[in-house]
Amino acid sequence: MPLRVVFMGTPDFAVPTLVEIVGQGHEVVAVYTRPPAPAGRGMALKLSPVHATAERFGLPVLTPSTLRMPEAADAFRAHDADVAVVVAYGMLLPKAILDAPDLGCLNLHASLLPRWRGAAPIQRAVMAGDAETGVAVMRMEEGLDTGPVGMVERVAISPDMTSGELHDRLSAIGADLMVRALAALSRGALRFAAQPEAGVTYARKIGNDEARIDWTRPAREVHDRVRGLSPFPGAFAMVDLGKGPERVKILRTALADGGGEPGTVLDGAGTIACGEGAVRLVEVQRAGKGPVAAGDFLRGARLEAGTRFL
Among 114, 291, 256, CA closest to 197: 114
Mean pLDDT within 256-265? 97
User: Does residue 220 sit in helix, strand or coil?
Assistant: helix
Do both 144 and 237 map to the same domain? no
Task: Flag whether 197 is in a domain.
Answer: no
- Domain co-membership, 128 together with 263: no
**pLDDT of 264:** 98
In a domain, residue 201? The reply is: no
Domains in the chain: how many in total? Answer: 2
pLDDT of the residue at 95: 96
Degrees to nearest 5, angle at CA 53 with 133 and 180 = 45
Q: What is residue 101's predicted lDDT score, i.e. its pLDDT?
A: 98
- The whole-number pLDDT of residue 108 equals 98
Q: 179 with 254, same domain?
A: no
245 and 161 in a common domain = no
pLDDT at 299 over 90: no
Q: Are residues 55 and 117 in the same domain?
A: yes
Question: What was the pLDDT predicted at 83?
Answer: 98
Regarding whether 230 and 142 lie in a shared domain, the answer is no
Q: Model's pTM, two decimal places?
A: 0.95
Given a contact cutoff of 8 angstroms between Cβ atoms, the answer to whether 255 and 220 are in contact is yes
Please give the torsion angle defined by the CA atoms of residues 12, 14, 20 and 23, in that order, rounded to the nearest 10 degrees: -70
Q: Would you state the pLDDT for residue 166?
A: 98
Distance CA 32, CA 63 (A): 6
pLDDT digits (tens, 9 = 90+) for 229-252: 999 999 999 999 888 899 999 999
Based on the fold, state whether residues 179 and 259 are members of the same structural domain.
no
How far apart, in whole angstroms, are the C-alpha atoms of residue 26 and residue 32? 16
Please check whether residue 64 is in contact with residue 84, taking contact to mean a CB–CB distance below 8 angstroms.
no
User: Are residues 219 and 156 both part of a single domain?
Assistant: no
Last-in-domain residue among 155, 186, 217: 186
| CATH code, domain with 244 | 3.10.25.10
Each residue's pLDDT tens digit, 34-84: 999 877 777 788 999 999 999 999 999 999 999 999 999 999 999 999 999
Domain residues for the domain of 164 are: 4-186
37, 106, 214 from 228: Cα distances, Å: 26, 27, 14
Compute the average pLDDT of residues 127-149. 97
Residue 130's CATH number = 3.40.50.170
Contact in structure between 273 and 262 (CB atoms under 8 Å): yes
pLDDT in tens, 190-216: 999 999 999 999 999 999 899 999 999
Cβ–Cβ < 8 Å for 137, 110: no
Mean pLDDT of 263-281: 97
